[in-house]
Amino acid sequence: MMAVALVAAKPAPEVKPKVSVVAPAAIAADPANRWILELSTGGRVVVQLRPDVAPNSVRRIQELTSQGFYNGLKFHRVIPGFMAQSGDPQGTGQGGSTLPDLKAEFNDFPHVRGVVAMARSEAVDSANSQFYIMFSPNFGLDHRYTAIGRVIEGMAAADAIAPGEPPEVPTTIVRASLGGPLAGAPAVAAPASAPAPAQATPAG
């Protein structure tokens, strides 16, 4: 009976709270943590990146943006009430950048409306350049995909992204930029717009 009593007296395990969707002051103060997507619809989406929860994935987004990688890319998979996905130069959901795939950085940032996360294949460590924007909460994605930030301006513009898998007339990212220079990785001047990639086909 003594053993049972000792077990019963053990304190309950501490429940780790989810990360706040409000960025810490130091993160919000760095302009390089503001990701700006100017869309072909005329809309503008601003994402507060969160290197405190996914440092390597955020750095990848920042570096590719500084190189002009996202300019001209389509939102190739857009499901109303769920999410909008982009970041594939092939426009099919099968491509990525020439950089190595990323190690997963699953975290406690909840998949609420406006959250931005890295898309991947079934392989856990396969995220590269693709990302998605959540239209509505889906906590079933928590700890399965790497959340990297949340839309803080222009969610209405995100809602207006053309739907479809792929959309008949896809919304494109005319220009992606950071709110300020990225430390340690000088920005490369990119044209205001880039040619759209080849016509997307449905992803498998």
Mean pLDDT to the nearest integer, 155-181: 97
Mean pLDDT of the 167-180 span: 98
> pLDDT-derived band of residue 202, with 50, 70 and 90 as boundaries?
very low
Mean predicted confidence (pLDDT) in 166-171: 97
Rounded Cα–Cα distance for residues 103 and 124 (Å): 8
Q: Rounded mean pLDDT of 137-146?
A: 97
pLDDT tens profile 106-132: 999 999 999 999 999 999 999 999 999
Structure tokens at 203: 């992803």
Q: Which residue has the tokens 């890295």?
A: 118
Residue 9: pLDDT over 90: no
Compute the distance between CA of residue 174 and CA of residue 37 in angstroms, rounded to an integer: 8
Span 24-31, average pLDDT: 96
State the pLDDT at residue 191. Answer: 34
pTM score of the predicted model: 0.82
Return the pLDDT at 17. 57
